[in-house]
Amino acid sequence: MADKKLLNLVQSKAKTWLESNIDSESKKDIENLIQNNEPELIESFYKDLEFGTGGLRGIMGIGTNRMNIYTVGMATQGLSNYLKQQFANKKSIKVAIAYDSRNNSRLFAEKTASVFSANGIKVYLFENLRPTPELSFAIRHFNCQSGVVVTASHNPKEYNGYKVYWEDGGQIISPHDKNIITEVQKITNVSNIQFDDSLKNVEIIGEKIDKKYINELSKLSLNPKVIKKQKDLKIVYTPIHGTGVELVPKILQVYGFENITVVEEQKIPDGNFPTVKSPNPEEPAALELALKKAKEIDADIVMATDPDGDRVGIAVKNNNNEFILLNGNQAAALLINYLISQWKDKGKLKGKEYIVKTIVTSELLKDIADKYNVECYDVLTGFKYIADIIKQKEGKKKFIGGGEESYGYLAGEFVRDKDAVMSCALLAETAAWAKNNGKTLYQELIDIYVEFGFYKEKLISIVKKGKSGAEEIQKMMDNFRNKPPQTINNSNVMLIHDFDKQKTFDQLSHLRYEINLPKSNVLQFILKDGSKISIRPSGTEPKIKFYFGVHGKLEKREDFEKVNKLLDDKIDDIIKSLGIN
């Protein structure tokens, strides 16, 4: 039985919606929940769907805590009000809107366009689904003040989302995120939303922007002559029923690759994602069909993008000719090493170049940058912080590339979010370059480990759904924060980085140091043996994430399996020591 106070609150919010001017079908859905499904009624109305890491994301359905045309409309009305405050001096405020293949994405995109239009804001709406990074590109191309992409990224099919971008093409950060939330919270009733079903201020965009975007992507290629020699590199690609099918095969062809196989069963956009349990390229199951095809044709590389085309998963052949999946840190290391080394070879390093990674991404990227005297910036988890560094350094320093362990990478400065279309092209080029040097990508990765040290990472995500799950996650964070371990796996905890308190605690000297990054609910333990453990609740899913990073020496290629097992065992021992399961 639900808490009476909570139930009264939920029923009051549901009644407010029933008495508003929402459509009759939505009213029937609410009445059905009231009469037949109290637990779902509570989940749907116990809170308002909040902006997380740059927008809305939630399960689709009716209610204040669900993704539907009214929560989308309220968010857009609040955003419209904020834009009109921020850009009151502009004659015309402009926004761009894109959407992915998820169920209701087109509907939510049109409703978003309708609200902007009703508020006198000029809208550039893509004609059909497009990858998220092209939305970032379009914002900059049209000199927009904001943008929205309707997507829940790699979440399960029940979810949809709404990511908000600012005029630089990056996702919103403080203070805009908090200020937009404030404005959205002022929209207390769906009757406060302005709709314009005629879409009078909406312009449909598509192929012309595709061509301009692809043209910019093509300029990132560093070794077109190498690709010409390796044009028959066997590539298997799957969009996992998402937006990548629009542009990934096209950019690979523009780069000069001629042997591209798209997984037939997954090339049709479909929000039900019928061939996978979850359309997440971080999960091996999502690549099963692609790997099957790769074995059939003896491919060199397998690539899979998520529904909105901003993340990419990679598989390569090991020394036994078996396909293995690379994690995000490994793909990032291959890409960053290729980019920086080729910038060096081509005389493009002038002493003002930099890369960016997130605090939970492998330190290997910094080691690679250090070798070439390229600066490496650490930022909080979330590509919006990488975009912010690019914005800060624009015109002063040159961004080579950046990445995060969760399969997102970027090169160049014309897009300000992770870009799987770009990443597929550049990772294919990296594979062609390695092959031209007589190596597979797998062997290239091992050679990187021999040179810089063998970095091994693992991520564990613990799912805790609903209101009670959110409370459990918070309790876990409180316990780690208030009673931090003194030793982990028999190694002393030397430093504790508490990004919520913005303090580093030196356990040896008992001194405290400021962390010059925004507040974030993240804890990091640095051990005496160099191991790094990071803990953070997800901003977009009901999960708490544990990141483990260890490293050791790899003297020669032949020792790879032995050292790999030692590092795997070390991570397992750390997990046991923390009591995580």
- DSSP H stretches of helix in 47-192: 69-86, 105-118, 132-141, 176-185
Compute the distance between CA of residue 122 and CA of residue 395 in angstroms, rounded to an integer: 29
SS3 293: helix
Can you state the angle between helices 69-86 and 176-185, rounded to 10 degrees? 120
Residue 377, strand partner residues: 356
3: Cα within 13 Å, side-chain hemisphere:
8
SS3 128: coil
Q: Which residues contact 127 (CB under 8 A, 6 or more apart)?
A: 204, 205, 206
Compute the distance between CA of residue 384 and CA of residue 522 in angstroms, rounded to an integer: 16
Task: State the distance between the two ends of the chain, measured CA to CA, in whole angstroms.
Answer: 30
Burial label for 1, CB within 10 Å (0-12, 13-18, 19+), is exposed
Compute the distance between CA of residue 323 and CA of residue 491 in angstroms, rounded to an integer: 35
Q: Is 24 a catalytic residue?
A: no
Q: Which of 21, 22, 197, 200 has the alpha carbon at shortest distance from 110? A: 197
Compute the distance between CA of residue 183 and CA of residue 168 in angstroms, rounded to an integer: 21
* Cα R_g (the chain), whole angstroms: 24
For CA atoms 131, 133, 139, 141, the dihedral sign is negative
Amino acid at 83: L
String of DSSP letters for 384-401? HHHHHHHHHHTTTSEEEE
SS3 536: strand
Residue 524, strand partner residues: 497, 534
SS3 334: helix
276: Cα within 13 Å, side-chain hemisphere:
33
Using the structure block, give the residue that is written with the tokens 């090339």.
Answer: 267
Active-site residue (options: 105, 153, 362, 406): 153
Which residues are catalytic, by number?
153
